[in-house]
Amino acid sequence: MLVYESRILQVTLFGTLQSNLSFLDFSLLLPDVMTIADEVDAQLTQSMDSYMNAMRTSAAA
Q: Give the pLDDT of residue 48.
A: 93
| Chain center to CA of 44 | 6
Distance CA 57, CA 47 (A): 15
Q: Give the pLDDT of residue 3.
A: 87
Distance CA 12, CA 5 (A): 10
3-state secondary structure of 7: helix
Q: Give the pLDDT of residue 40.
A: 92
Distance CA 8, CA 11 (A): 5
pLDDT tens-place string over residues 5-61? 989 999 999 999 999 999 999 889 999 999 999 999 999 999 999 999 999 999 987
